[in-house]
């Protein structure tokens, strides 16, 4: 794990992002339910996806799937501006209150369908998706800056999921297929528009990207 990410995660009190009945498990390397069929990812997955973004302080990041707010807090600790979207109203409200209480002023959250991204603040230097669609949404590819990095799990309900990293080079996406993962499914009306909303890319299959 890169040292800056290790220190960023050490500064975030993970137990404050977890329901009281699960707090004894807060610092174990496992995913934990947060309600409404969602989970907070295990710390090793958070570290891996964050490292793949290759962030620099001052950059702008879009997160799809705020959940508990933990991943957004880790990103903010790296000195980036975070724009995060959560589709479930109750989780949006909880994460907003939690992040405000903890003083994360560089995290901006809205409630809505993350499939369409947040075009008002595009382009983004990094985009991270914390739920698995069965394809790469075109809107997210469009909102990625030149040389920007997009990290997303992809896999349908009856298919294995793989983590992918995309880099935009001269307006086109280079794709790197990484290891197998397990995320909650991407939800919302936008995912049903995949036949006309799938981004195209050039793929490289590798398990040694980092």
pLDDT at position 130 is: 97
pLDDT at position 197 is: 54
Residue carrying the six token digits 């991407």: 186
Which one-letter DSSP state was computed for residue 198? B
pLDDT at position 202 is: 62
Distance CA 55, CA 103 (A): 21
pLDDT in tens, the chain (210 residues): 889 999 999 999 999 999 999 999 999 999 999 999 999 999 999 999 999 999 999 999 999 999 999 999 999 999 999 999 999 999 999 999 999 999 999 999 999 999 999 999 999 999 999 999 999 999 999 999 999 999 999 998 888 999 999 999 999 999 999 999 999 999 999 987 765 455 656 665 444 333
Task: Extract the tokens encoding 152.
Answer: 């997303």
Structural domains of the chain in order of their starting residue, each with its CATH number: 3-10+35-205 (3.40.50.150)
Q: Nearest-CA neighbor of 189 among 181, 178, 180, 197?
A: 197
Residues catalogued as catalytic: 41
Q: Which stretch of DSSP H or E encloses residue 77?
A: helix 70-77
Integer angstrom CA distances of residue 169 from 19, 49, 201? 41, 20, 11
Which phi and psi angles does 89 have, rounded to 5°?
-55, -40
pTM: 0.92
């Amino acid at each position: 794990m890169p040292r800056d990410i290790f220190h960023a995660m050490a500064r975030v009190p993970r137990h404050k992002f977890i329901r009281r009945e699960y707090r004894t498990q807060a610092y174990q390397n496992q995913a934990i339910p947060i309600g409404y069929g969602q989970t907070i990812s295990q710390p090793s997955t958070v570290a891996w996806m964050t490292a793949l973004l290759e962030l620099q302080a001052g950059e702008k990041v879009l997160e799809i799937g705020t959940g508990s707010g933990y991943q957004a807090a880790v990103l903010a600790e790296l000195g980036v501006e975070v724009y995060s979207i959560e589709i479930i109203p109750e989780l949006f409200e909880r994460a907003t209150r939690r992040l405000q209480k903890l003083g994360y002023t560089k995290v901006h959250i809205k409630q809505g369908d993350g499939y369409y991204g947040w075009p008002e603040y595009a382009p983004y230097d990094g985009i991270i998706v914390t739920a698995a669609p069965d394809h790469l949404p075109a809107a997210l590819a469009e909102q990625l800056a030149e040389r920007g990095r997009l990290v997303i799990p992809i896999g349908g309900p009856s298919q294995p999921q793989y983590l992918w990293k995309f880099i935009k080079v001269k307006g086109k996406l280079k794709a790197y297929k990484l290891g197998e993962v397990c995320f909650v499914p991407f939800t919302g009306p936008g995912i049903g528009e995949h036949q006309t909303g799938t981004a195209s890319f050039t793929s490289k299959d590798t398990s040694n990207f980092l």
